[in-house]
Structure 1
């Protein structure tokens, strides 16, 4: 039993219950998923909308599209496939082991911890939970304290839907996460920044706990001279300014062929007005920065860039009392400014020109591997050149964000942008141990080769090495 931690009792209850939950059938797990689905679709839908609006004025449509829909879609995908995922998979057995049958058994990892962020609190809490339920784990959820209204709704949901010995939600500040991380979970799923990801991984190493780290970084967007510029601008604005840029896979900066930079800026200004009106602060389609701390971080980063010669080509206005920052486009940035060194996670889009595609690729490769890399091009050769000569968690060609919504694709980063994958079968496997199982039915060749050794047995080994 685990002691000396205020959450140890909860952990111990889930640990004692893990085999009961782990031995549930696909039908029993789907029943739990259906309860969660109904809660999101019906019972708590309006509560979720209102909570997210209170936390940072997230528009209702954006809440439905980016918070509720992805979780429901994940549930539907899992329901269609879970029965087949839980079947023992028979695999081949070498001829030298004649008389045996081999299988892979997908068993639950056990007691899991999911630590989720504030930017998409519903999606990034309940999305991983769907995978954890599908795999048959017990789970403790720890949402961010930065969206308190949404956390309260989620806490109420979880308490009403599930027994805490199975699934529980714990609210609290950073200290709560620190206390939870002292416990020997079987798996930890963390979504957040690379800096905090390192802290989580270090804590997990104390118990050799496996981790999934959904991190972030500076996701580049390349626009070459063959791109359909009008469509590229429309899609980049959608990807960047949804959730006011507070999205881990949002385009972080644009690398554009120098010959089309001016046209891009003109189209950008016109499209912003179409999407968010002359004054985005009056738009019902544009949310706010989550709190004053993050607002100040963004303002400081913008002022730092301007002090070093950056040009604000569009936007740049802000209002501290409303934590509002206008959709902003910035060019002529120096490499030592904060906007070019750190993930922006807000509605500021730097634009940087290049002369040759090699130059753009070299620039990307001089930085950490991004979570996402976007390419706008009609030139297949140039597109393939970028893909083949860069590394990223995922890539989308002629659009952005959409790779996240395809359950047949693994979602996750690489090195600094993350460890492990999620969504669909990949998420199920992340919360699963692929256990090897071999059954011997008759005496096999190996049984004939036990001591005492002799010349006949040596000849058998020689034949095995040569032919099998």
Structure 2
């Protein structure tokens, strides 16, 4: 067996022991993961500094603090998330127990990205652990130093059989994708996303694909342009522009274009000094392949701000292009009506930090969502459960073969009428059923049968007389 096969087999065997299911065990693992970020911040920061030139403060702000918050939320809310969820019943199931029970999927594959190597890899892992799954973690090989540290630290702090880390490049990822998983969570680009979905289809494995996309900004001429440009500048050049939800381009009226450029230039100087290359808070492009890809975007465009670059250092200065044509490489046409995975007005990036909002794409930006409870639900099977009572067979008879039904209207009423009653409401309804049952029993008494015989002798149809009020009552209630 290959190393990848062995890791998956061990994870599945560990999951099948059942030890990841108890809430106490899940919480213990989450607390150990939280402990990692408290005790090993220096090693995490040093590795990211080597990969992306992020400062220690920047690493905490954009990588680990959010993870600590996500873990704390999961620990605090796990019992609530994992509890049975009551649902509305119809009258046919009013005395039964009907609920949704979240249960683990099994073994999840998490394939991380290089731009925020801890944040976008560990956040899905938090959801996988909280939901009671095993998970195989595949860090991005592009962040060489971070991937190595992640493998070392996770094996120390959390269950290394349930949550193994598999490092490697394209070949190792392809070998992983040949294995059967119960869910695949991938963060990256659309091209690889299609390959992952193709591999998952062979095993009918569901996927969550976080594929980035385009993030246009529109600046209205009547807004506070200074504030708008300051926030856009922060959102764009954080992590040296290597953020999937960073602003890609600005749309504005030609009359305010010069002012927008001036305000962005002013904000760049405020954030990164006159020489961003020497600023501790300005990062580097991840590698030379991506450096070359980005530099080609400057071709046939007018540079209004920045443009300086150094291939040996993978440095590209904060840059603004002006008078960009719609067919240029940095931009796509925006239709009158748009759809997007998320919407953020008057700011950039910060919707990622709100655990109560689902974070995910639509169309080529991906599918599925996560963060907070959405991570838990995304990596759980929401199992529908109905525990039937062995009583009230008179009501249950409505579902038996159609020829046994005397009145279809009653079946429609009981099946189509949803109810959402509190405790008092349920007691009241059961009391009504008890009265109806007593009446039915009374109608079967010898005295009633004698009365029926007397009525029939007078030439009246008893069934017709007794059939009027149920139909009218049914119409009134529906």
**TM-score after normalising by structure 2:** 0.83
The alignment of Structure 1 onto Structure 2 pairs a total of residues equal to 414
Structure 2 CA distance for aligned equivalents of residues 152 and 196 of structure 1: 22
The answer to whether 1:110 aligns with 2:106 is yes
Q: 1:96 to 1:291 in 2, by over 3 A?
A: same
The answer to whether 1:340 aligns with 2:365 is no
Structure 2 CA distance for aligned equivalents of residues 284 and 445 of structure 1: 77
Q: Contact 2:21–2:104 at 8 Å: present in 1 too?
A: no
Q: Contact 2:98–2:386 at 8 Å: present in 1 too?
A: yes
SS in 1 for 2:152: helix
Q: Which residue of 1 aligns with 2:234?
A: 238
Q: Which residue of 2 aligns with 1:372?
A: none
Tell me how far 1:300 sits from its aligned partner.
1.6
Q: 1:93 to 1:293 in 2, by over 3 A?
A: same
Q: Contact 1:37–1:75 at 8 Å: present in 2 too?
A: yes
Tell me how far 1:445 sits from its aligned partner.
5.1
Q: Which residue of 1 aligns with 2:7?
A: 10
Q: 1:17 to 1:253 in 2, by over 3 A?
A: same
What does 1:11-30 align with in structure 2 at a 5 Å threshold? 11-21=8-18, 24-30=21-27
SS in 2 for 1:212: strand
Tell me how far 1:462 sits from its aligned partner.
4.0
Q: Which residue of 1 aligns with 2:371?
A: 423
Q: Which residue of 1 aligns with 2:455?
A: none
The one-character-per-residue Cα deviations of 1:195-249 (angstroms, maximum 9, x if unpaired) are: 1111111111111111111111111111111211111111111100000000000
Q: Contact 1:97–1:446 at 8 Å: present in 2 too?
A: no
Q: 1:178 to 1:446 in 2, by over 3 A?
A: farther
Structure 1 CA distance for aligned equivalents of residues 28 and 230 of structure 2: 41
Tell me how far 1:460 sits from its aligned partner.
4.0
The answer to whether 1:364 aligns with 2:364 is no
Q: CA RMSD in A?
A: 1.8
Q: Which residue of 1 aligns with 2:397?
A: 448
Q: 1:200 to 1:446 in 2, by over 3 A?
A: farther
SS in 2 for 1:390: coil
Q: Which runs of 5+ in 1 are unaligned?
A: 342-362, 367-388
SS in 2 for 1:459: coil
Aligned to 2:55, which of 42, 45, 59?
59
Deviates more, 1:85-94 or 1:290-299: 85-94
Question: Which one has the largest radius of gyration?
Answer: 2
Q: Which residue of 1 aligns with 2:349?
A: 401
Tell me how far 1:20 sits from its aligned partner.
3.8
Deviates more, 1:173-182 or 1:97-106: 97-106
Tell me how far 1:141 sits from its aligned partner.
0.3
Structure 2 CA distance for aligned equivalents of residues 322 and 105 of structure 1: 53
Aligned to 1:316, which of 301, 304, 307?
307
Tell me how far 1:18 sits from its aligned partner.
1.8
The answer to whether 1:215 aligns with 2:211 is yes
Q: Which residue of 1 aligns with 2:30?
A: 33
Tell me how far 1:466 sits from its aligned partner.
5.0
Q: Contact 1:393–1:413 at 8 Å: present in 2 too?
A: yes
The answer to whether 1:139 aligns with 2:135 is yes
Q: 1:178 to 1:301 in 2, by over 3 A?
A: same
Q: Which residue of 2 aligns with 1:76?
A: 72
Q: Which runs of 5+ in 2 are unaligned?
A: 416-478
The one-character-per-residue Cα deviations of 1:88-112 (angstroms, maximum 9, x if unpaired) are: 1122221123442101000011100
Structure 2 CA distance for aligned equivalents of residues 67 and 411 of structure 1: 16
Aligned to 1:391, which of 335, 339, 362?
339
Q: Contact 2:184–2:200 at 8 Å: present in 1 too?
A: yes
Structure 2 CA distance for aligned equivalents of residues 450 and 272 of structure 1: 70
Q: 1:96 to 1:221 in 2, by over 3 A?
A: same
Deviates more, 1:267-276 or 1:420-429: 267-276
Q: Contact 2:276–2:317 at 8 Å: present in 1 too?
A: yes
The answer to whether 1:168 aligns with 2:116 is no
The one-character-per-residue Cα deviations of 1:357-376 (angstroms, maximum 9, x if unpaired) are: xxxxxx4237xxxxxxxxxx
Deviates more, 1:259-268 or 1:404-413: 259-268
Aligned to 1:463, which of 410, 419, 430?
410
Q: 1:313 to 1:453 in 2, by over 3 A?
A: closer
Tell me how far 1:73 sits from its aligned partner.
0.9
Structure 2 CA distance for aligned equivalents of residues 302 and 23 of structure 1: 51
Q: 1:155 to 1:459 in 2, by over 3 A?
A: same
**TM-score after normalising by structure 1:** 0.85
Tell me how far 1:447 sits from its aligned partner.
4.6
SS in 2 for 1:140: strand
What does 1:430-445 align with in structure 2 at a 5 Å threshold? 430-443=378-391, 444=393
Q: Contact 1:52–1:149 at 8 Å: present in 2 too?
A: yes
SS in 2 for 1:365: coil
Q: 1:98 to 1:235 in 2, by over 3 A?
A: closer
Q: 1:37 to 1:98 in 2, by over 3 A?
A: closer
Tell me how far 1:461 sits from its aligned partner.
3.6
Structure 1 CA distance for aligned equivalents of residues 341 and 395 of structure 2: 44
Q: Which residue of 2 aligns with 1:188?
A: 184
Q: Contact 2:7–2:166 at 8 Å: present in 1 too?
A: no
Structure 1 CA distance for aligned equivalents of residues 369 and 402 of structure 2: 48
